[in-house]
Amino acid sequence: MAKTIANQKTKTTAKSPKFVSIQEAINAGDGKTVSIRGWVYRERGSNKFKFVVLRDSSNIIQCIFDRKDFEKSWEEIDQLQVECSLHLTGTISKDERAPTGFELHVTKYELIGKSDSYPITKDQSVEFLADNRHLWLRSRRMTSILKIRSTVFGAIDEYFKGEGFYEYHSPIFQAVQCEGGAELFSVDYFGKKDVFLGQTWQLYAEPAIFALEKIYTISPSFRAEKSKTSRHLTEYWHAEMEMAWADFDDIMDHGEKLLKHIVKTVLATNFEELKLLERDISKLKPIVEKPFIRMTYDDALKILKDKCKMKVEWGKDLRTIEEEELTKLYDVPVICTRYPKKVKAFYMTEDPKNPDVVLGCDFLAPEGYGEIIGGSHREADLEKVKQRLIDDGEDPIEYEFYLDTRRYGSVPHGGFGMGVERVVRWICGLENIKDAIPFPRTMERYKP
Ligand code: 4AD
Ligand code: MG
């Protein structure tokens, strides 16, 4: 941990100049005088000069203090440490050797907040960075991911609003399960024990399509999955949609169009961030340009056997390793459909042509990233839904409110859920889902 500087105060200026972002300062170009503010990203000094690379949310720039201009305050300047916050005014000049091609020759400065010696230095362990997540967020890597994440959230809203969906919200405290009882977090709700954190909005969304017809949300979901994989969080952001009068193809079409819109928007907005993350953009272009691959579960088993030498017994769900190998064969997501009924949730419509499979779809991202969307058409037959709840060990009485959706003017409908961090992980090309969210919650970590 950092040592403490006694009585550290944050100064405020009486009259501040008009600040521009570092990127705007760079754009202003050679010879322009600008005022910028930010944090010291790197520093080094000599007897004559102090070099500070200043960072703000937009970019970094090298700033030079010439001792002869600052003789009186040289001691303070000489001691500037990484993460001090500063106001700087100076002249921009082009310099090929500077990290972003430009430098600021400082004419005026103000130290706003001192910094203790910063605990994050080069080559630290993953654990150390996780313990210091609140500080690691300032890294250029995390800043880039968080910008892309922000673009993704915006693009989801934009897509659904553009398609005439209403934004709608479900409760997080719920008394039903939807995606498997074993993965519920229970909450002590004033002494009551049958309250859980929502795994999905779905059972509270279906009742609302009778009012709004087309709805979507972006909300946290919770899964008590005992999985320590690179794609499981216990708390994640879930973008979900539900739609009245929809057939199975409508659901898949929206999933495909949504993903295309997200990737297209990120490519148009976050070129610099993708570059900083060393993401191979040529891997993302096909997502926008080419149709996704649609195949049934039966097709997937055949391809796995023929091309990947992997034998999956019919009736078993696809495991991570099988999804990985399957998706490595394509440069666009695979939409896998018609899974065996017994591996999928109780609400999925039985395929009219084959009651052993359901009209459910998983979108599997390429390059081995695996499932990013899960969706389905919803079973309309009240008795079938009830029976499948019983088969899952549930008491249909608890689901009465939900079963009313099948009693009063039921219509064909369906929807899907997209794991936003899974999409961010894939787009950014991250090794682990943990870096796709500011403060990841996993089986092992719930602090800081
Ligand atoms: O496939 P899932 O479980 O489907 C549902 O929850 C449906 N009720 C959605 C719906 O039809 N409205 O979850 C949907 C998506 C997955 O495809 C995955 O992207 C993400 O949620 N997801 C997770 N993301 C991170 N960590 C986890 N533990 C996740 N579990 C699911
Ligand atoms: Mg799923």
What is the C-alpha separation between 136 and 142, in angstroms, rounded? 7
Atom of ligand 1 nearest to the CA of 362: 17
Contact 278, 402 (CB under 8 A): no
The pLDDT averaged over each successive group of 10 residues in the chain (448 residues) is: 44 72 96 97 95 97 97 96 97 93 97 95 92 96 98 98 98 91 91 94 98 98 90 97 98 98 98 97 98 98 96 95 94 98 95 96 96 97 96 93 97 98 98 97 94
Contacts of 314-317 with CB under 8 Å at 24 or more apart are 314/340, 315/340, 315/342, 315/343, 316/340, 316/343, 317/343
| Helix axes 420-428 and 140-162, enclosed angle (nearest 10) | 120
Neighbours of 154 (CB within 10 A): 14
Ligand nearest to the CA of 333: 1
When computed from its CA atoms, the radius of gyration of the chain, rounded to whole angstroms, is: 27
Ligand nearest to the CA of 364: 1
Atom 21 (ligand 1) nearest CA: 419
How are strands ordered across the β-sheet holding 173-174?
173-174, 192-197, 186-189
The Cα–Cα gap between 277 and 153 comes to 19
Rounded to 5°, the CA angle 281-284-286 comes to 125
Strands (E), 286-412: 293-296, 334-337, 350-351, 354-358, 360-365, 370-377
**How many A from CA of 55 to the centre of ligand 2?**
40
Residues 6+ apart with CB under 8 A from 292: 256, 259, 332, 333, 334, 335, 363
**Which atom belonging to ligand 1 lies closest to the Cα atom of 414?**
11
Cis before 448? omega within 30 = yes
Distance 239 CA to ligand 2 centre (A): 13
The whole-model pTM stands at 0.95
User: According to the model, what pLDDT value does residue 1 have?
Assistant: 40
Instruction: Give CA angle at 208 (405, 423), nearest 5°.
Output: 110
Cα within 13 Å of Cα(97), Cβ side = 2
* Alpha helices for 58-185 (secondary structure H): 74-78, 126-131, 133-136, 140-162
Sign for the pseudo-dihedral over CA of 365, 371, 373, 378? positive
The binding-site residues of ligand 1, defined as CB within 6 angstroms of any ligand atom, are 178-179, 199-200, 202, 223, 225, 232-233, 236, 238, 240, 371-375, 415-419, 421-422
Q: Distance between CA 241 and CA 433 in Å, rounded?
A: 22
Q: What is the enclosing helix (H) or strand (E) of 436?
A: none
Which of 371, 378, 420 maximizes ligand 1 atoms within 8 Å of its Cβ, making it the mutation to test the pocket? 371
The pLDDT of residue 7: 43
Nearest residue to 30 via CA among 93, 98, 97, 73: 93
Question: Atom 28 in ligand 1: which residue has the minimum CA distance?
Answer: 232
The Cα 157–Cα 237 span in angstroms is 13
* Ligand number with the minimum distance to the CA of 222: 1
Residue nearest to atom 17 of ligand 1 (CA): 373
CA–CA separation, 361 and 279 (whole Å)? 28
Please report the atom of ligand 1 found closest to the CA of residue 179.
Answer: 3
Q: Which of 200, 343, 376, 379 to probe ligand 1 with, by most ligand atoms within 8 A of CB?
A: 200
Task: Tell me what pLDDT residue 379 has.
Answer: 96
Closest-CA residue, ligand 1 atom 6, reads 200
- Map tokens 């690379």 to a residue: 53
For a substitution probing ligand 1, which of 170, 209, 221 has the most ligand atoms within 8 Å of its CB?
A: 221
For tokens 């910008």, what's the residue? 147
Domains contained in the chain, CATH given: 22-113 (2.40.50.140), 129-436 (3.30.930.10)
In angstroms, the CA 378 to CA 268 distance is 35
Cα 163 to averaged position of ligand 2 atoms, centre (Å): 24
